[in-house]
Amino acid sequence: MVDVFIVGSKGIPAQYGGYETFVDKLTENRCNMDIKYHVACKVRRDDHSVKRFSYNHADCFNVTVPKIGAAEAIYYDLAAINESIAYIKKNKIEAPILYILACRIGPFMSLVTKRFHSLGGKVYINPDGHEWKRAKWSAPVREYWKQSERMMVKRADLIVCDSKNIELYIRNTYRSYRPQTTFIAYGADLPRTFKTSDKTDLVEWLKDHNLKERDFYLVVGRFVPENNLKT
């Protein structure tokens, strides 16, 4: 049995967010019964939910996070990692894998990796695109994100990229660290059978927009500078 501890999503069941949906679908569609997922879930101090619960056959554990503004995400990741380590030691789990989503805890990454290696484990990360370039962050925050990403890539045993371009960026930017990377696409749910003629509202929509089936692209994205739909 391989125990994988997932840290960085807000938790499952997913209510919103890419990472949350990813973890939800990952656990829902687990094919290898020799993998046991442990998923951190973020809760507030006034949330009296049970400490641990099962969802999609995954072991989910709630991590209480105070309202401390921008530092919440960093606090959450570190608290979740500490709880994971305590659980590993208590249950004498061998060769655990820590899978960190996003690159928020760079200054602490060296210690985190050292602690997991001492348990016979490994640390994987999934970088969140070019987070340090996003316009919504102030200049100091963007610099923190950039340096945090660098420190996490340097210390990780494996970088899992959900985009080929992100993998190329990681390899080129941090070439001196010789990062071990792999590309795994998010994937999508597709119906096994689908007849356009059975969907009268879709037929009308295509007609109203002078479109033909399988002859157009549908682009979905948020209206933010980093997801420029025109580009």
| pLDDT tens readout for residues 67-112 | 998 899 999 999 999 999 999 999 999 999 999 999 999 999 999 9
Assess whether pLDDT exceeds 70 at residue 197.
yes
Q: What are phi and psi of 145, to 5 degrees?
A: -60, -45
More confident of the two residues 192 and 173 = 173
Cα first-last separation, the chain:
45
More confident of the two residues 151 and 190 = 151
Assess whether pLDDT exceeds 80 at residue 185.
yes
Using pLDDT thresholds of 50, 70 and 90, give the confidence band for residue 231: low
Assess whether pLDDT exceeds 90 at residue 229.
no
Sign of the CA dihedral with 89 first, then 93, 95, and 98 last: negative
**Mean pLDDT for the stretch of residues 10-15:** 94
pLDDT for position 194: 72
pLDDT for position 45: 80
Structural domains of the chain sorted by starting position, each given as residue range(s) with its CATH number in brackets: 2-189 (3.40.50.2000)
Using pLDDT thresholds of 50, 70 and 90, give the confidence band for residue 137: confident
Chain mean pLDDT for the chain? 91
Assess whether pLDDT exceeds 70 at residue 2.
yes
Using pLDDT thresholds of 50, 70 and 90, give the confidence band for residue 44: confident
**Mean pLDDT for the stretch of residues 209-220:** 86
Assess whether pLDDT exceeds 90 at residue 128.
no
**pTM exceeds 0.75:** yes
| Matching residue, tokens 């007609």 | 207
pLDDT for position 224: 73
